[in-house]
Structure 1
Amino acid sequence: MMKMPATWDELFEGEAERPKTFLHDIAAPLITGGLGFGLACFLNFATRRPLFSGIQKHILYAGIGAVGGKVAEGWRSEFFAERDAMIRHYISLHPEDFPMPERKKYADILEEWVPVR
């Protein structure tokens, strides 16, 4: 059985060690690169050309999209890291505002079931 943390510091200490999947680092560039490729296809469709004509345009748009996705993912992770650090710091400065929640059992939460007939 897992023991309940006594302080907020104990509660937050394991967050940095979460395992990441192999798709975690390439998901954003892959999606935005695919959107760039799709944009090139759409532009060809809109100008009544064959979808895959001008393949250099497809490669360029896919590359720009992948780089843009990687940059946006970096900004996003920095934003969330800064936000989480700010929240942890606030909680450590004001522990009286954040009491540890009491551990409850399912028997205390669930009400007795009575069938309706």
Structure 2
Amino acid sequence: MSAVNDPLELLSNKGNRQPSFLGPIWNPFACGLAGVGVALFVNWGFRRPVFSGVQKHIAFGAIGVAAGVYFDKKRDEYLAKRDAVLRHYIELHPDDFPVKDRKKYGEVLESWVPVR
């Protein structure tokens, strides 16, 4: 693990951060599952067998997956815009963000002396 002292390095991804396995599929999966849950709830609300009308479950699940993909894209756009604004601010005001030396926990924490 490399040390990052420069604040601009924290806001840039130069291929050193890999997304987790569930990262790209979590929101579409969760929203698709919620869509199927809505179909089950609608059937329950109309006092029909909860698994009747399988095409409705498939349709609501597909709509949920599409909504999850859309929400992922919107979140990524928002985070990219936020990082760009922060990066630009740091570039304009480098005096507010000095490069700090790394310290170990032993240097930061005070020594502990038990009181008995």
Q: TM above 0.5, one fold?
A: yes
Structure 2 Cα separation of the partners of residues 9 and 45 of structure 1? 53
**Percent of aligned positions that are identical:** 47
Output aligned runs, 1:13-92, within 5 Å: 13=12, 15-17=13-15, 18-92=17-91
Structure 1 Cα separation of the partners of residues 2 and 52 of structure 2? 59
1:77-96 Cα offsets, whole Å, 9 max, x none, are 00001100110111011101
CA displacement at 1:99 relative to structure 2: 1.1
Structure 1 Cα separation of the partners of residues 51 and 90 of structure 2? 55
What is the alpha-carbon root mean square deviation over aligned residues?
1.9
CA displacement at 1:114 relative to structure 2: 1.3
1:88-114 Cα offsets, whole Å, 9 max, x none, are 111011101111223223222111111
Structure 2 Cα separation of the partners of residues 55 and 4 of structure 1? 53
Greater than 6 Å deviation, 4+ residue runs: none
Structure 2: runs of 5+ lacking an equivalent: none
Structure 1: runs of 5+ lacking an equivalent: none
State the structure with bigger RCO (CA 8 A, min sep 6), 1 or 2: 2
Aligned length: 115
